[in-house]
Amino acid sequence: MADKVRLRIAPSPTGDPHVGTAYMALFNRAYAHGHGGSFILRIEDTDQTRYNEASQREILASLDWLGLTPDEGPGIGGDYAPYVQTQRRELYTQAANRLIELGHGYRCFCTKERLEELHREQAARREPPRYDRRCWSLTQVQVEENLAQGMPYVVRMHIPEEGTTTFNDLIRGEISFENRVLNDPILLKSDGLPVYHLAVVVDDHAMEVSHVVRAEEWISSTPLHVMLYQYFGWEVPKFAHMPLLRNADRSKISKRKNNTSLKWYREQGFLPEAMINFLALMGWSMPDGREIFDYSDIEREFTFERVTTSGPVFDLVKLTNINGKYIRQLSDEELYERLQPYISPGLDRDIMRKVVPVIKDRLTRLGEFEELTGFFFGQPPPHEASLLVPKKGTPETALEALKRTRAFLDSLPEPWTHEEWEAGMRALASELGMKAGDLFMVLRVAVTGSNVSPPLYESMEILGKEEVLKRVDRAIALLS
Ligand code: GLU
């Protein structure tokens, strides 16, 4: 293997593109590009029962959205094509045959029924299910007879009973497994397709992958892979097993407890740069402890030494906070542009331009823009009259407050200024014997239909005096 730095992700196209795929893509790409290397996408589609046609396209689209586009992959091309495993069958068959020739693999003709019977007996003896290696002792003649009869078979790898297999993990150090725990695994299925272990080794070798950076759930498979490299006489790549993303209860991140689909995050209006920042913080930290940084920082600073091994909890609240920070960093013009895919085509763009700076501080997802700002574009949402009544007030005091506020707003010379308005409202509140905050709240509900809204004065300015007075009249009618 040359000194090239080549890293890959190898997702299975089995459903919606997964946050775990983005997480692995981020570190693989950052390490590869940080070291002048290449980042590869390979599609592991050999489990045809779980195959989903659209998935491969969506994986690529999600990576593009996040700015994690691979250098090589299906639909992109590269010197090591094809990048889809079902298009590489020949290589796996060759490798399986080679392993048999080398004396480390064998054809196994055991039927499903026999294996089930074997596992039943083992269960009765309270033993874990294991293949008893019956076909390992078949003679050449027996094998040829079985083949001549057209008996279906799988190819298994023969694992020595003795010894241990050790590898060095760039994050976790030396890891050893006793060989006897490995159980002559199947490498090639009876349909001629490889299982993961064979395909991953054959492809990582063929694609000259220098660093295998993947999730920790693959640690226990790695000894098997190391053995295969050794049997084939191939150079063993470097390994690094990243911590798994976890649900709040520390189980592996799952659909039932988190949104795992990258499509969902995009639809909700999480910014790709916020996603990247958040994912990077899951299990890794910047040397200077900064929490907000961009992809180029990760590329420059990433080292395996700074990866933690404790399972990071995928925290939507934290992601939402980070997303809000990124939204606030955008210029008004940028935010306006980036909101476009998230709003209805008919929304008044002139009003929208005025609303963007006012809402910016409150927006945590692009997808909530219309929900938070609907009152600018149409009538405020209907609400109970009681929403207009402050906690310690009565409908009568609220009504009185609104009438006086209306008169005040009407008398306020135009153009309004924030200072005059605020001073006038505070004076009015003390005349009414109300807390200023309560008076602002009554007006806020009248104007926006809600007790949480963007800054009130700025909102009124956008709506204009006439519209504000109409809304106050409507609230007065509601209370009367
Ligand atoms: N297909 C495996 C997965 O979906 C790839 C694991 C690896 O990177 O070796 O996670």
DSSP string, 110-126: --HHHHHHHHHHHHHTT
CA distance 354 to 350: 7
> What gap in Å lies between CA 63 and CA 21, rounded to an integer?
9
Atom of ligand 1 nearest to the CA of 196: 1
Query: Which ligand 1 atom lies nearest to the CA of residue 221?
Result: 9
Note the pLDDT of residue 182. 87
First to last CA, the chain: 84
Q: What is the predicted pLDDT for the residue at 54?
A: 87
Strands of the 164-169 sheet, one edge to the other = 38-41, 6-9, 211-215, 238-242, 164-169, 173-178
312 Cα: distance to centroid of ligand 1 (angstroms): 19
Q: Is the pLDDT of residue 284 over 60?
A: yes
How far apart CA 344 and CA 334 sit, in angstroms, is 18
In testing the pocket of ligand 1, which one of 23, 42, 44, 211 has its CB within 8 Å of the most ligand atoms? 44
**Buried b / exposed e across 245-269, counting CB within 10 Å, b at 16+?**
bbbeeeeebeeeebbbbbeebbebb
For ligand 1, atom 3, name the residue with the nearest CA: 11
- Look at residue 67 and give its three-state secondary structure: coil
Q: How far is residue 119's CA from residue 124's CA, in Å, rounded to a whole number? A: 9
Ligand 1 and 18: CB distance under 6 A: no
Residue 21 CA to ligand 1 center (angstroms) comes to 9
**Does residue 131 line the site of ligand 1, with CB under 6 A?**
no
Distance 214 CA to ligand 1 centre (A): 7
pLDDT, position 15: 86
Question: What is the structure's pLDDT at 47?
Answer: 83
What's the CA angle centered on 413, arms 409 and 417, to 5 degrees?
80
Mean pLDDT of 80-95: 96
Dist CA 459 CA 445 (whole Å): 12
Which comes out higher in pLDDT, residue 479 or 181?
A: 479
In angstroms, the CA 370 to CA 204 distance is 47
Q: Which of 8, 51, 58 is nearest to 29 (CA)?
A: 8
Give the mutation target among 12, 27, 86 for probing the ligand 1 site: most ligand atoms within 8 A of CB. Answer: 12
Ligand 1 neighbour 200 (Cβ under 6 A): yes
Q: What is the arithmetic mean of pLDDT over 418-447? A: 96
Whole-number Å distance, alpha carbon 9 to ligand 1 midpoint, is 7
Considering the chain, what percentage of its residues have pLDDT values greater than 70? Answer: 99
pLDDT (average), residues 358-368 = 97
255 is catalytic: yes
Residue type, position 184, single letter: D
399-415 residue pLDDT tens: 999 999 999 999 999 88
- pLDDT, residue 216, reads 96
Give the pLDDT confidence of 105-117 residue by residue, as tens digits.
999 999 999 999 9
Rounded to 10 deg, the angle between the 418-432 and 436-448 helix axes is: 120
Which atom of ligand 1 sits closest to the CA of residue 9? 8
Nearest-atom index, ligand 1, CA of 214: 8
DSSP H/E element including 443: helix 436-448
User: Which atom of ligand 1 lies closest to the CA of 8?
Assistant: 8
Token pair for 193: 């397709």
Cβ-based neighbour number of residue 59 at 10 Å: 26
Instruction: Single out the catalytic residue among 112, 252, 255, 470.
Output: 255
Long-range contacts made by residues 325-331, C-beta under 8 angstroms, separation at least 24?
325/274, 325/292, 326/271, 326/273, 326/274, 326/277, 327/271, 327/360, 327/363, 327/364, 327/366, 328/360, 328/361, 330/360
pLDDT at position 2 over 70: no
Q: How sure is the predictor about 62, in pLDDT bands with cuts at 50, 70 and 90?
A: very high
Mean pLDDT rounded to a whole number for the chain: 95
pLDDT tens-digit map of 204-219: 999 999 999 999 999 9
The verdict on the CB of residue 153 being under 6 Å from ligand 1 is: no
User: Which has the higher per-residue pLDDT, 5 or 15?
Assistant: 5
Rounded to an integer, the average pLDDT of 178-201 is: 94
> What are 242's strand-pairing partners?
215
Q: Please compute Rg for the chain using Cα positions.
A: 32
Between the CA of 11 and the centroid of ligand 1 the distance, in Å, is 5
The yes-or-no verdict on residue 1 having pLDDT over 70 is no
The per-residue pLDDT for range 116-129, each reduced to its tens digit, is 999 999 999 999 99
218 C-beta closer than 6 A to ligand 1 = yes
Confidence of residue 256 (pLDDT cuts 50, 70, 90): confident
239 membership: H or E segment, kind and range: strand 238-242
- For the beta carbon of residue 404, count every other beta carbon within 10 angstroms: 15
| Residues shown for the chain | 480
State the distance from the centre of ligand 1 to the C-alpha of 432, rounded, in angstroms.
68
| Centroid of chain to Cα 252 | 13
